[in-house]
Amino acid sequence: MIVEWVGVEPGRCGWSPDRDRRVPYAWPAFLDAVTTAPPAHRIVKLQVTGPVTLCGAIAEVGDPSPFLFAKDVGAWLAGQTQTQIAALRERRLDCLLIVDEPALNIAGVESTVIEAWEPLRTFGAAWGLHVCCQPPWALLEAARPDILNIDLVAFPLDRAASDAVTRMVRAGTTMAWGITPVHRDEETSVAVSRLMNAVSSVRASAGVGIAAAEARALPTASCGTGAQAISRESHIARVLRDALVGMDR
């Protein structure tokens, strides 16, 4: 997963002129697109490298404290991200900042991990965590993100997970549920059932109405669409759209 995310084996990570960039290659085109046709709510989603996963990727094998400098890495990433957020604000756009942590399950619950996100959580209208590994629920509850994106396809909710999600929803977290698989096809009804089961579980446990439970639910694709061909990504988006239409029925 880290190889796919970083683009190279962790042991080969290093500086090169090609990587010496403050913003991604796609940033100018992206900025032009949201400037030309801004979203009605004027909020743009940015996804930033997770400091915990980055520390885990570059640590020496056998390092007993791979996350010791996660807070410093988080501050550095925040400094890099400020350039993009400032450009959005010049265009009267705010951001939802999602911190991508595919290796969070190896971190444990350490104060240095929670502190690593502090520089990143105050920039935009809201902040969140994208976790496509087995969710470490104790750590996620301690983090209290505004939005939590998890993969229901790979990691269905068990009782302990449902209890943790319920507590997080009560505390104000919105759940972004990954309901449509990326690497295989399945009936749209399966994605609808997957989402409804998750929403119903939260609604029953939290003691809130269906409208409130659905308001705290953002259906999305399972993790990994960015590595797919455009045709495949479009297909996944259509399946997700059909699943949402199916829910409305």
Neighbours of 183 (CB within 10 A): 12
70: closest CA among 97, 50, 47? 50
Q: What is the mean pLDDT of residues 219-227?
A: 83
CA angle 123–57–85, rounded 5-degree value: 15
Task: Scan for tokens 């890495």, then name that residue.
Answer: 73
Q: What is the mean pLDDT of residues 244-248?
A: 70
Domain ranges of the chain: 27-128, 146-249
Q: What is the mean pLDDT of residues 30-53?
A: 92
Q: What is the pLDDT of residue 19?
A: 59
The percentage of the chain sitting over the pLDDT mark of 90, rounded to a whole number, equals: 25
Highest mean pLDDT among 11-15, 30-34, 238-242: 30-34
Q: What is the pLDDT of residue 193?
A: 84
Q: Are strands 94-100 and 174-180 parallel, antiparallel or unpaired?
A: unpaired
- Alpha-carbon span 103 to 193, nearest angstrom: 28
Is the model more confident about 223 or about 33?
33
Is the model more confident about 58 or about 162?
162
